[in-house]
């Protein structure tokens, strides 16, 4: 998934492919994020989790649709 995302953003820019890569991680990231917020598990990845949700928002919300990658 990381390779797909990197290719979609850095090699051959494709908002659709980047959206698919980010969306594929959503369920897993929701579980990790919820466990981290509740304090059930300390993944030590709060920065990465926050960055993921920013990217998720950018690729999911229509207001960003016309912006360049």
What does the pLDDT look like over 43-64, one tens digit per residue? Answer: 666 777 777 778 777 777 766 6
Q: Give the pLDDT confidence score for residue 69 in this predicted structure.
A: 60
For residue range 8-56, what is the model confidence (pLDDT) as tens digits?
888 888 888 888 888 888 877 788 777 777 777 666 667 777 777 787 7
Domain presence at residue 31: yes
Domain presence at residue 69: no
Domain presence at residue 35: yes
- pTM assigned to the model: 0.53
**Range(s) of the domain holding residue 59:** 2-64
How many folded domains does the chain comprise? Answer: 1
Q: Average model confidence (pLDDT) for the chain?
A: 77
Contacts of 15 (CB under 8 A, 6+ apart): 8, 59, 65, 69
Determine how many CB atoms are found less than 10 A away from the CB of residue 19: 17
Q: Which two tokens stand for residue 33?
A: 């994020």
């Amino acid at each position: 998934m990381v390779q797909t995302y990197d290719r979609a953003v850095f090699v051959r820019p494709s908002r659709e492919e980047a959206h698919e890569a980010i969306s594929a991680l959503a369920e897993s990231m929701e579980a990790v994020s919820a466990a981290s917020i509740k304090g059930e598990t300390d993944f030590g990845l709060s920065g990465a989790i926050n960055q993921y949700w920013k990217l998720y928002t950018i690729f999911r919300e229509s207001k960003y649709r016309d912006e360049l990658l």
